[in-house]
Amino acid sequence: MCIRDRHKGTVKDGRAVGLAEGYHENGQLSYKDNYKDGKKHGLSEVYYDNGQLSFKGCFKNDDYIDMSYCEK
């Protein structure tokens, strides 16, 4: 697990894998992204600095796709 500049996540062989999170300066969650082989893969959520959800989407190999893929 690597924590740097209000971000945390796992890097394997130079590529992001698994859950990555970022935080606003006020400490509130900014985003949650899932990665596979360095590409967004799975559920992605972005939050306003007050903690409210701004965006929720699904990705497969960095491409934005239908939410049904992430709801399996």
List the domain boundaries for the chain: 2-69
pLDDT tens per residue, range 25-60: 898 999 999 999 999 999 999 999 999 999 999 999
Record: fold of 2-69:
2.20.110
Q: How many CA atoms lie within 13 A of 36 on its CB side?
A: 9
Residue in this structure with the two tokens 């049904």, named with its chain if needed:
68
- Is the pLDDT confidence value at 4 over 70? no
Residue 35 class from Cβ within 10 Å (0-12 exposed, 13-18 middle, 19+ buried)?
Answer: buried
Measured at the CA of 32, the angle between CA 30 and CA 34, to 5 degrees, comes to 155
Give CA–CA dist 29/17, Å, rounded: 19
| pLDDT at residue 17 greater than cutoff 60 | yes
